[in-house]
Structure 1
Amino acid sequence: MHRAIKSTGVVCLIAALSACASIAPRAPEQQVQARAETYWRARIAGDVKAAYALLTPAYRSLRDEQAFQRQFGAQIAVLESKVTNVACEAEKCIARVGLTTKPVVPGLGLPTVTAYLDETWLLVDGQWWRHEAP
C-alpha cells in the first residue's frame, strides 16, 4: 500500500511539473519560430489577411492590406517553407527560412530548389512582429 501511494505521488509530481512547463513563457526564439512558420504558411496558402496580421504595427500603419497584397501578391510559388534557425537579441530576432520552389522552365524538368533568407522580427509591445520595409 505504501509503495502504491509513493508511485501515485511521483506520477502527480511529474504531471504537475509538466503542467508548469507548458504554462511557462516560451523563449523568444521559440515564439519567433512559431510566428515565422505561421507567416510563411499563410503566404504559401495565399492568406493575405493572416500574413499581413503578423507584420509590425508600424508597417500596418503605413500600408493597408491591399497595398501589402499589391506589393507581394496573394500567393507565391513556394512549395514549402522551413524555419531553420532563429537568433535573438533583446528586441530583435533573425529567422533563417528555407523556401523550396520548383522552377518552371518549359521543356526542362528542373528539380526543386531551396533558397534561404534571413528575416527580421522585432519585439513591439510584448509581441514579435515580422519587419517589412514599407
Structure 2
Amino acid sequence: MLRIMLLSLVLLVSACGKSPDSMVGSGDASREKLEQRAEERWRARIAHDWGKAWEYESPAFREVFPKQLYVKKFSYTANWELTGLEVIEYDPEAAVASVVVRVMSRPTKQTSAAARAIGAMQRELHEKWILVDGEWWFSAGQ
C-alpha cells in the first residue's frame, strides 16, 4: 500500500512539473503551428476570403461577431502580397505571442495619378495571437 502511495505521489509531482508547453505539444511544434496559422490567415486575406479569415479569429471574438458581419466590414480597396512573417515574441506559458507580418499593399483601382505614382507600399503589421485550448488564434483586441 505504501508503494502504491509513493508511486502515486511521484506521478503526481512529475505531472505538476510539466510546463504548459508540454501539455499542448512541444514548444517548437506549437511555434510552428502559430506561424502556419498566421500565414494561412494572411493567405485568406490576400484572396479576399473574409469568411476563411474569420475562422482564425479567437473563439471569444467569433461568439460576439458573426461571420456575415465580419465579411461585410471589409472592402476590396487593397491587394496584398505576403513578403514575410516572423514570430517576435512567443510565450506559450502566458498563452500569447506577437507576430510581425510584412506585406506589399496596392490599391485595387489605380484611378488617381497619386495612386499610380505611389504604387505598391511595404507595410509591417504587428499582430497579437493567443493560445486557447491548445490552438493559436488571432486576437483582434490589440
Inter-partner Cα distance in structure 1 for 2:32 and 2:77: 25
Q: Secondary structure at the match of 1:78?
A: strand
More strand by share: 2
Does the 8 Å contact 1:43/1:74 carry over to 2?
A: no
Aligned with residue 104 of structure 2, among 100, 103, 106:
100
Inter-partner Cα distance in structure 1 for 2:55 and 2:41: 9
Inter-partner Cα distance in structure 2 for 1:76 and 1:30: 31
Does the 8 Å contact 1:122/1:130 carry over to 2?
A: yes
Mapping 1:27-38, distance limit 5 Å = 27-38=29-40
Mapping 1:1-134, distance limit 5 Å = 26-71=28-73, 73=74, 75=76, 77-86=78-87, 87-90=89-92, 91-103=95-107, 104=110, 106-107=112-113, 108-133=116-141
TM-score, with length taken from structure 1: 0.71
**1:109 CA displacement:** 3.0
**1:49 CA displacement:** 2.0
Identity %: 28
Does the 8 Å contact 2:51/2:71 carry over to 1?
A: no
Gaps of 5+ in 2: 1-24
The runs of at least 4 aligned residues of structure 1 exceeding 4 Å deviation read: none
